[in-house]
Amino acid sequence: MFYDETKVLLKAGNGGDGCMSFLRQKYMPNGGPNGGNGGRGGDLMLKADENVSDLRNYHFKKHWKAKNGEPGRGSDQNGRGGESCVLKVPMGTEVRLLESGELVCELLEHKQEILLLEGGKGGRGNATFKSSINQTPRQFTEGKIGMEGEYLFTLKTIADIGLVGFPNAGKSTLLNVMSNAAPKIDSYPFTTLVPTVGVIDYPDDFKTLTMADVPGLIEGAAENRGLGHRFLRHVERCKLLLFLLDLAATDGRNPSDDFEHLRKELIEYDPSLGKKPFLVVGNKMDEGTASDFVKEFKDRFPEIELLSISALLEEGLPELKRQLLQALS
């Protein structure tokens, strides 16, 4: 199962308490103060890691805490600082305050680090209070409490191209033949239940593009029907949308109607998605009904180019790769 959203309770470490202590030796029964300072509490950090694919670690373990700082000791020994807690998350993770929904940060690049919660400061030992007018101070301070909070982690896939279409349009097949990805493929709706990202190579141009196969949408996805919002949020960060239409009219669908419905769902979910550049591709051109549906699409949308391909037979793919590179150059 793919985990792209979870709630967590996070806490930085507390600072160690300062120590009250005095030097006591055989020939120095009334020595001066030598209580050390407490160690600082560990921070709670977030780090984006390209090798982490989802948020499963934080689905099964909800509470994470950095180590506390150690207390100070006599003989002017300061406590050791607490070990920081570094949570590795997938690139594209969005962090919000659970109660208010306020966006705290986003981690978009590999090895990007965010200091989310600071550890508490260590307390002062009584040695630090010694002065010319107070040679035997008995003051010390306790360590400060580390910061804590409840957060919502949400993963939004990062890719150059978002592959959008209704179930069984052939998105997984297309991604499989154009890239190094290997999504599950079958003739059932919702075979793809998780976003899959593949890399399209352009060796002659020394470039690569990433394409995300977003799980099949259904009408009403913008109102969160089915798994609507969980699917739609994975296209938010894509630079280009590729609408894949089923020219075989599988499940009795009309490709032109599908295009209208897909655009409508995206715009209702987030109006900014309607402003993204896009390509429209008709798949399964090898089917007998394809030519009629291509003509209907051109009649209804004369200003939009429809590129016909067959992902299964790998026909029309060189032109599709060329247009994708051109659109993103």
Check which CATH number belongs to the domain holding 74 and give it: 2.70.210.12
pLDDT at 213: 83
Predicted local confidence at residue 187, as pLDDT: 37
Taking alpha carbons only, the member of 225, 161, 135, 153 closest to residue 3 is 153
pLDDT of residue 165: 87
- 70 and 181 housed in the same domain: no
What is the layout of strands, in order, in the sheet containing 148-155? 63-65, 5-11, 148-155, 93-97, 103-107
pLDDT number for residue 1: 61
36-55 average pLDDT score: 94
Residues 84-112: tens digit of each pLDDT: 999 999 998 999 999 999 999 999 999 99
pLDDT score of 216 more than 60: no
pLDDT band at 242 (very low <50, low <70, confident <90, very high): very high
pLDDT band at 230 (very low <50, low <70, confident <90, very high): low
Reported pTM: 0.70
CB 166 within 8 A of CB 246: yes
Average pLDDT over the chain, rounded to whole? 87
Instruction: Kindly indicate the confidence band of residue 26, based on its pLDDT and cuts at 50, 70 and 90.
Output: confident
Determine the pLDDT at residue 221. Answer: 38
Region 126-130: what's the mean pLDDT? 95
Confidence of residue 210 (pLDDT cuts 50, 70, 90): confident
pLDDT, position 227:
43
Q: Are residues 239 and 140 in the same domain?
A: no
SS3 content of the chain, % helix, strand, coil (to 5): 20, 25, 50
Beta carbons of 198 and 206 less than 8 angstroms apart = no
Mean pLDDT computed over 49-63? 91
Confidence at residue 206, expressed as pLDDT on a 0 to 100 scale: 86
Query: Which of 101, 124, 155 finishes a domain?
Result: 155
- When comparing pLDDT for 122 and 224, which is higher? 122
CATH of the domain at 320: 3.40.50.300
The angle that helices 290-300 and 255-269 make with each other, rounded to 10 degrees, is 50
pLDDT surpasses 70 at 217: no
User: Do residue 73 and residue 175 come from a single domain?
Assistant: no
Q: How confident is the model at residue 220 (pLDDT cuts 50, 70, 90)?
A: very low
Number of domains in the chain: 2
User: In the beta sheet, which residues pair with residue 22?
Assistant: 33
**Higher pLDDT, residue 168 or 256:** 256
Q: Which of 7-11, 185-189, 215-219 has the lowest mean pLDDT?
A: 185-189
Average the pLDDT over 316-325 and give the result.
Answer: 94
Pair 190, 109 in one domain: no
Q: Are residues 89 and 180 in the same domain?
A: no
Q: What is the pLDDT of residue 180?
A: 64
Task: Note whether 219 and 94 are same-domain residues.
Answer: no
On the question of pLDDT at 30 being above 90, the answer is no
Asked if residue 223 has pLDDT above 50, the reply is no
Residue in 8, 152, 163, 157 with CA at minimum distance from that of residue 92: 157
Residue 329: pLDDT band (50, 70, 90) is confident
Res 169: pLDDT: 85
Q: What is the pLDDT of residue 190?
A: 36
Q: Are residues 132 and 202 in the same domain?
A: no
Domain C-terminal end among 124, 155, 186: 155
Q: Which tokens in the block code for residue 225?
A: 């029907």
- Name the domain boundary from 123, 155, 187: 155
Residue 146 shares a structural domain with residue 172? no
Domain range for 90: 1-155
Range 11-15 average pLDDT: 98
Determine phi and psi for 278, rounding to 5 degrees.
-150, 160
Q: How confident is the model at residue 194 (pLDDT cuts 50, 70, 90)?
A: low
